[in-house]
Structure 1
Amino acid sequence: MKTMTAQEVQEYMNNNKAVSIIDVRETEEVKAGKIPGAVNIPLGLIEFRLQDIDKSQEHIMVCRSGSRSGMATNILTGRGYNVINMDGGMMAWDGPTE
């Protein structure tokens, strides 16, 4: 599984305008704040929302601690998607939120 630290994700976002971030936390959790531009697809819905995830693009998966996003990364990698798990999740994120 490919991974990045929260700091690496922040630097990557600063250098790349078209970054796709998928937040797999539950909707209620995301209301407390998410990485700007992140799309919320709860882990339990990820397999039902595959049509909403561009297979030709790289995606960074995020959750609260990195565990659920790791599961989502494994699911999507197994289906041929190019995904990276953000280690530490939002608990490690010190960048801006919306």
Structure 2
Amino acid sequence: MSHGVKEMTPQELLEKLEAKEELQVIDVREVDEWNAGHIKEAKLIPLGFLPHRIDELDKNIPIVMVCRSGARSNTATEYLSAQGYDVANMVGGMLAWPGEVEQ
């Protein structure tokens, strides 16, 4: 599925967050999906809003994109990569997330 986008496993992301690495975790799911459970450190920017809210992202801090299964976040990763961001897709999405979930 990946067209040369950087990928990160859910376990790798969990370890980076636990190590307090500076990261931007962006969840591109819809509000109802977010409300059902999300990564505590994540910020919600639904995929359709990403082009309009791109100025909320810091080009100097690595970004990890998250969605339900990894498909929408892959699209978002490709988009941000083309804009010059350091971005990776969390493969498997929230379905594979091993950490705690906030509601």
> What is the TM-score when the length of structure 2 is the normalising length?
0.91
1:72 aligns with 2:66: no
Preserved contact between residue 22 and residue 61 of structure 2 (Cα < 8 Å): no
- Structure 2 counterpart of 1:52, one-letter code: E
- Structure 2 counterpart of 1:11, one-letter code: E
Counterparts of 2:75 and 2:24, CA distance in 1:
18
> What is the TM-score when the length of structure 1 is the normalising length?
0.95
Q: CA deviation at 1:91?
A: 0.2
**How large is the RMSD of aligned CA atoms in angstroms?**
0.9
2:27 to 9, 23, 26: 23
Q: CA deviation at 1:17?
A: 4.1
Q: CA deviation at 1:52?
A: 0.6
Matched with 2:60 is 56
The list of structure 1 runs, each at least 4 consecutive aligned residues, that deviate by more than 6 angstroms after superposition, is none
Q: Which runs of 5+ in 1 are unaligned?
A: none
Counterparts of 1:42 and 1:19, CA distance in 2:
18
**Number of aligned residue pairs:** 98
